[in-house]
Amino acid sequence: MDTKLKKINRARRSILKKLTKGIGSTGAHKQTGSIHKETIKRILISRPNHRLGNLLLITPLVQEVAETFPSCRIDLFVKGNVASIVFKNYENIDRIIVLPRKHFKHLFQYIGGWLRLKQRHYDMVINVVGFSSSGRLSTKFARGTYKFYGDDDFNLQSNYADYPQIAKRPVYNFRRYLSQLGLAGTTDAMPFMDLKLSEAELLQGKERLQTMIPQKEAQTICLYTFATGAKCYSESWWMDFLDRLKTEYPNFNILEVLPVEHVSKINFKEPSYYSRDIREMSAVIANTSIFITADCGVMHLASASGTPTIGFFSVTTLEVYEPYNPGSKGLNTENLTLDDIFKEIHYVLDK
């Protein structure tokens, strides 16, 4: 993106944030009273963002909504084309309203996406994150009986230590909103991020994995050595890590998943795998024993595949973005030695 366009987008976001600051501060999201589950038939969930990680992070909320209202049909308001891939196997999803990633290049498509919000009346409209200006505006703009603007309540953290986690927080906020309406949500169990891979996809992922690994019967450790900006660890760091990994687990396969940039911080010293098919990539990862990476969108993809995922953090806030599916953990490498890191890896692989 050129400098001029970056400046335009920054100005646009700044103006939009100011214009939407007061939206939802009073009114519909303060609704109280009792509603019945069977009256909620059509729901809109708004997360106008195109990034893979951010869309995967709303899968727990979508599951929560579907479990709370089993007979409801859910529309999503998003950006880009990733959502149709992420939510392919979600039975409650009806319509995905898509905004183009580049507003000014596809202005009529952008306007058309917003106008589609008016085509249906929703029993409930849910904004996933309260700090999203576009999310708040879309919640206001859509036609709906009950509207939740996604406001945070950090008083909930006194009851839930994991409230800051960005996939869990919208679920906690939604449960609080339902309680204000006199409606109990689901159990206290927190949904995991889930791509809902089918049995056929998992089998194809296993078959694909078998073509890439030298030891067909051995377990496979999966690495992803790329991340954006300051989140990306150096080549020397990854090479030291790889040497230690091969010493600790000489009888394991090691497979490196490559990013779209097709770069490797371990200089392609291990078998590598590249695909632009998100679901195929996730299915391959699902057939490995552990996924090790820096904080990035593919970390969330691995988590959503159900594979234990170790995420390395040195820049972003671990408590907000760490993976949390079974066996998964975020590690702050600023405070840990290589020995400390491998203790966590041993815990997963030696069970």
Q: What pLDDT shows up at residue 93?
A: 97
- The boundaries of the domain holding residue 109 are 7-180
Is position 81 within any domain? yes
CATH number for position 142: 3.40.50
Is position 194 within any domain? no
- Which residue stretches of the chain have pLDDT < 70? 1-34, 184-187
Q: What pLDDT shows up at residue 102?
A: 81
CA-closest candidate to residue 90, choices 122, 45, 133, 124: 45
Q: Give the strand pairing for 220-224 and 73-79.
A: unpaired
Residues 172 and 208 reside in one and the same domain = no
Is position 57 within any domain? yes
Q: What are the pLDDT digits (tens) for 262-307?
A: 999 999 999 999 999 999 999 999 999 999 999 999 999 999 999 9
Residues 98 and 173 reside in one and the same domain = yes
Is position 130 within any domain? yes
Distance CA 313, CA 295 (A): 6
Residues 162 and 204 reside in one and the same domain = no
Distance CA 173, CA 60 (A): 12
Q: What are the pLDDT digits (tens) for 11-67?
A: 545 555 554 555 665 444 445 556 778 889 999 999 999 999 999 999 999 999 999
pTM: 0.90
Q: What pLDDT shows up at residue 3?
A: 55
Is position 18 within any domain? yes
Is position 2 within any domain? no
Which contacts qualify for 207-212: CB closer than 8 Å, 24 or more apart?
208/273, 208/280, 208/283, 208/284, 209/255, 209/284, 209/287, 209/288, 212/255, 212/271, 212/273
Residues 23 and 155 reside in one and the same domain = yes
Last residue of a domain, one of 149, 180, 211: 180
Residues 251 and 106 reside in one and the same domain = no
CATH number for position 228: 3.40.50.2000
Structural domains in the chain (count) = 2
Is position 49 within any domain? yes
Burial class (CB in 10 A: 0-12, 13-18, 19+), 337: exposed
CA-closest candidate to residue 31, choices 171, 168, 144, 163: 144
Query: Would you give the DSSP letter of residue 85?
Result: H
